[in-house]
Structure 1
Amino acid sequence: MRDPSRRPRFLLVQAFTLPPGSPNRYRDDGGTKEANLMNHAAVAPLLADIDWDLHPGPIAPHGDWPVETREEFAVAGVARLPIVRQACESGQYDAIVLLGGGDPGYPEAREIGRRHRIPVTANAHAQMHVAMTLGNRFSIIDISETHNAHMAELVVRYRMTQGLASIRNIDFPLPRPAHRGRPTLRGEAEAHARGEPSGMLEAAEAAALAALEEDGAEVILLGCSGAFWLQGPLQARLAERGWDVPVLEGYRCAIELARLMVNLGVDASGITFPGDPPAHRRRKRIA
């Protein structure tokens, strides 16, 4: 049981770190945890009253590019589990937040956290659950065909198919060898910050409008954490068009869900994630 007089302490774990010199970086890392946390300006208010550390994640085990395929998500997820296990065993943290829009290693990390009674949250899972408290159906604005396929599988895994209106592809993928010579999301956030036009923002606005007008979406989610910067301008553009709908982004949802679990003093169900060995052995389980 956490001492209520002590500030909670969170560990934020990035999905992976690209090796030094990788040509596929799409942002510059800084020397502080604040500079290294991609969405720090937006999440800072949520972290103001807690102590937190940032783990850079494992050096990308699949190559020197961001993850997008099922194989890459699986490999990155396995590589992240020892970090989660070590953090849980250290006894230093009240919650662990897994960063990265595709949630690599999340169910397994949650099982580890449950053994130590430490809540573990992740971006896509948190976004979908928050979305279903705000509306009846959500659409995911995502970055590429391959990433879309992974997100669709997460919707099924998280039992959110009844809430999904659509996954809309804006086709601004992550910089990686497979997309060499075509537009990616590299530099789009910086261009928008400089007041320059952004094709990615234009595509996201068109996709969100189609989701609202054609698919029946009531909440908009951003599928890739690399698209975090779209949340504010996309929310504003939809409001200008008269659409009063939430636009959610993964880092904030995952951090806020972790805060909620810590404040409630709960973590994952011991039936959903049985112990080893389990305390009870039920004769029947319904999927």
Structure 2
Amino acid sequence: MSEPARYRFLLISAFSLPEGAGYRMRAFRGRKEDMLLNGERLAPLLQDVEWDVHPGAPATHGQHPVEMREEFAITGVNRLPLVREACQSGKWNAIILLGGGDPGYVEAREIGHRHRVVVTACAHAQMHAACLLGTRFTVLDISENHNLRMADLVVQYRMTDRCASIRNVEFPLPRPAHAGRPNVQEESERHARGEPSAMLESAVTEAVAAIEEDGAESIILGCSAAYWLQTPLRERLAALGWDVPVLEGYSAAVAQAKMLVDLGVDASGLAFPADPPKRTRRRKFV
């Protein structure tokens, strides 16, 4: 009988849309590689991982990608039962929550620690990786409303003294509210065809401003749909003489999960106590 794989990861998407729904940016059924926005780029990190993808809970916020705070809250609540079921199964030693806004992440970690299962998410993993690379990072993000979600996460993750800025390129997700406007998916497809991308040009401009004006020493991508910017943006910055890392959420979350599995830890029981806690503290710091 073969030994179980060292890394057994379930990647859970933020939500799923039904067949025929508009604003679909990826497959929700079929090959697991096709259910990832950047499956081809992520493949090297997953070579030694036994893994699968859950398409996400059926969307109840609307038939479109998530940008608003309300939508993030709804999406987070919807996928917590999926996290609980995955942890209870005993099949996985890490859960990776896909999606740049980390919906449900903190609550999912509480569930994960109960079962000693690692839980990681894209924004959280990128911010912590960026802190290993330099003193301050900039979040390069896609739209005004999504920027506000990222600002909330910077505060929640205690990164206010490490985040140099949140820079907005204003190429939002494809949604009914943005009908007729250039969006991140169209720009991704344009770049894939070898055509000039206005979003890439805006990303270069804002990244240079983040370095020169804000003091950023690394760049993280706020939205998972902007994953395709990672390589061309890094190359363009290097051509300008800027030796600056550009991070992307899916790969950072998988790499962080591997690190925590290798360390044999998932989360602190003081940060995520049992119900009820075995011990309680008289004083807590905020």
Tell me if both proteins adopt one fold, taking TM over 0.5 as the criterion: yes
Does residue 222 of the first structure (1) align with residue 236 of the second (2)? Answer: no
Rounded Cα–Cα distance in structure 1 between residues aligned with 2:281 and 2:262: 30
Q: CA deviation at 1:50?
A: 1.1
User: Structure 1 residues 175, 5: closer, same or farther in 2, change over 3 A?
Assistant: closer
Query: Pairwise CA RMSD of aligned residues?
Result: 1.3
Compute the displacement of 1:5 (Å): 6.2
- What TM-score do you get using the length of structure 1 for normalisation? 0.97
2:269 is matched with 270
Following TM superposition, by how much is the alpha carbon of 1:185 offset from its aligned partner in structure 2, in angstroms?
1.3
- Corresponding residue for 1:42? 41
> Which residue in the other structure is 1:159 paired with?
158
Letter of the 1:223 counterpart: G
Match of 2:178 in 1: 179
DSSP 3-state at the match of 1:161 = coil
Unaligned residue ranges in structure 2 (runs of 5+):
none
- Looking at structure 2, the residues matched to 129 and 232 of structure 1 have their Cα atoms a distance apart, in angstroms, of 20
Provide the TM-score with structure 2 as the length reference. Answer: 0.97
* Residue correspondence of structure 1 range 62-211 to structure 2 within 5 A: 62-211=61-210
The structure-2 alpha-carbon separation of the partners of 1:26 and 1:286, relative to structure 1 and needing over 3 Å to count, comes to same
Give the letter aligned to residue 247 of structure 1.
Answer: V
Q: How many Å apart are 1:189 and its aligned residue? A: 1.4
Q: Could you tell me how far apart the structure 2 residues matched to 1:191 and 1:143 are? A: 16
Q: How many Å apart are 1:6 and its aligned residue?
A: 3.5
Q: Any idea what SS the aligned residue of 1:96 has?
A: strand
Q: Partner of 2:161: helix, strand, or coil? A: helix
Q: What secondary structure does 2:219 align onto?
A: strand
Percentage of identical aligned residues = 62
Q: Deviations over 1:44-69 (max 9, x none)?
A: 11110110010000111101010100
Measured after TM superposition, the shift of residue 184 of structure 1 is 1.1
Q: Which residue of 2 aligns with 1:59?
A: 58
Provide structure 1 residue ranges, at least 5 long, that are not aligned to the other structure: none
Q: Deviations over 1:204-261 (max 9, x none)?
A: 1111011011111000010000000100100100001000010000000000000000
**What's the secondary structure of 1:148's corresponding residue?**
helix
> CA–CA distance in 2 between the matches of 1:129 and 1:110?
16
By how many angstroms is 1:279 displaced? 1.0
Identify the residue that residue 5 of structure 2 maps to in structure 1: 6
Q: CA deviation at 1:27?
A: 4.1
The 2-side partners of 1:70 and 1:4 are apart by: 43
Deviations 1:30-53 (A, max 9, x none): 620011111111111111011001
Counterpart-to-counterpart distance in 2, 1:75 and 1:30: 22
Q: CA deviation at 1:131?
A: 0.2
Contact 1:18–1:66 (Cα < 8 Å) also in 2: no
Distance 2:271 2:143 in 1: 32
Contact 1:27 1:186 in 2 (8 A): no
Change (3 A) 1:15 1:29: closer
CA distance in 2, matches of 1:28, 1:189: 16
Hey, what does 1:286 align to over in structure 2? 285
Asked if the contact 1:26/1:187 (under 8 Å) is kept, the reply is no
Partners of 2:279 and 2:205 in 1: CA distance: 51
CA distance in 1, matches of 2:268, 2:41: 30
CA–CA distance in structure 2, aligned partners of residues 6 and 222 of structure 1 = 30
SS in 2 for 1:120: strand
Q: Is the 8 A contact 2:114 2:274 kept in 1?
A: yes
Give 1:19 shift.
2.4
Residue identity in the other structure for 1:32: R
Provide the rounded CA distance (Å) in 1 between the counterparts of 2:169 and 2:28: 26
CA distance in 1, matches of 2:245, 2:180: 34
- Could you say if the C-alpha distance between residues 27 and 188 of structure 1 is closer, same or farther in structure 2, counting changes exceeding 3 Å? farther
